């Protein structure tokens, strides 16, 4: 499910609402998320694992989703709220829509240099997201960076029609030490082409569209 399809489902379920030029999460959905966050805050790790297991079908994603929930309890709260509000009973849809919901959160990460359709995330959540949503492309960007501007435009063009890879973006300066330690990212712009949490290819600079699409094809195989 692409971000456009996901947004349509969220609109039809009353989870997203539009007022003028602004799209936001509905008050009723936000209220559900807040209620579930309160419950999760008092959960042990074992309780969180049992809870997550009820909401996903794939055993391989349970552990990374639990770790993600420990870092970002809102993710698990949103998963539970989707079950209440979504016009479908598909666990796969619920899990797939979590990244789309991030696009409508109050900005807790820098989004200014993120390409359209990319999901801005904190760097320290990449180890979990890259497993749950494999394969993924991670774009690391900087401020006042002409190559970043060039690469952003190319990525927007590519992902206007590319499916099967989740595009994530990270503002490098906010996560410099983590990115260097975990992924050997020491400059930008950078792209990480990842499968099951592993970096298959690491590229620096504003590469041509053909290079990027070739690497995307490899991680989709």
3-state secondary structure 52-106: HHHHCCCHHHHHHHHHHHHHCHHHHHHHHHHHHHCCCCCHHHHHHHHHHHHCCCC
Nearest to 190 by CA among 137, 112, 118: 137
Q: Is the predicted pLDDT of residue 213 greater than 80, yes or no? A: yes
Q: Is the predicted pLDDT of residue 3 greater than 70, yes or no? A: no
At 169-195, the pLDDT tens digits run 999 999 999 999 999 999 999 999 999
Q: Is the predicted pLDDT of residue 202 greater than 60, yes or no? A: yes
Which alpha helices (H) appear in the chain, and where do they start and end? 3-12, 27-41, 45-55, 62-71, 73-85, 91-102, 126-132, 146-158, 176-183, 209-220
pTM of the prediction?
0.92
| Reported confidence tier of residue 2, pLDDT bands at 50, 70, 90 | low
Per-residue confidence (pLDDT) for residue 138, from 0 to 100: 98
Can you say whether the dihedral through the CA atoms of 107, 113, 115, 120 is positive or negative?
Answer: negative
Residue spans of the domains in the chain: they are 3-102, 119-220
Per-residue confidence (pLDDT) for residue 76, from 0 to 100: 95
Per-residue confidence (pLDDT) for residue 211, from 0 to 100: 97
d(CA 190, CA 133): 20
Fold for the domain defined by 119-220: Glutaredoxin (3.40.30)
Residue that is written with structure tokens 């409508």 in the block = 104
Per-residue confidence (pLDDT) for residue 8, from 0 to 100: 87
Q: Is the predicted pLDDT of residue 1 greater than 60, yes or no? A: no
């Amino acid at each position: 499910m692409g971000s456009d399809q996901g947004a349509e489902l969220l609109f039809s379920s009353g989870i997203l609402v539009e007022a003028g030029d602004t799209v936001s999460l509905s008050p009723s959905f936000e209220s559900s998320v807040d209620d579930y966050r309160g419950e999760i805050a008092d959960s042990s790790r074992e309780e969180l694992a049992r809870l997550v297991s009820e909401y996903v079908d794939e055993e391989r994603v349970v552990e990374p989703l639990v770790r993600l929930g420990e870092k970002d309890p809102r993710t698990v709260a949103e998963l539970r709220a989707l079950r209440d509000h979504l016009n479908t009973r598909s666990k796969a849809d619920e899990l797939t829509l979590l990244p789309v919901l991030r696009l409508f959160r109050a900005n807790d990460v820098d989004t200014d240099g993120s390409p359209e359709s990319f999901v801005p995330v904190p760097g320290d959540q990449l180890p979990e997201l890259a497993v749950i949503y494999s394969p993924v492309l991670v774009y690391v960007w900087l401020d006042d960076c002409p190559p970043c501007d060039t690469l952003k435009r190319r990525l927007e063009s590519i992902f206007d029609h590319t499916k099967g890879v989740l595009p994530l973006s990270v503002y490098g300066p906010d996560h410099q030490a983590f990115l260097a330690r975990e992924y050997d990212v020491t400059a930008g712009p950078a792209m990480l082409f990842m499968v099951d949490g592993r970096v298959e290819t690491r590229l620096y600079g504003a590469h041509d569209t053909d290079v990027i699409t070739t690497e995307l094809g490899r991680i989709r195989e």
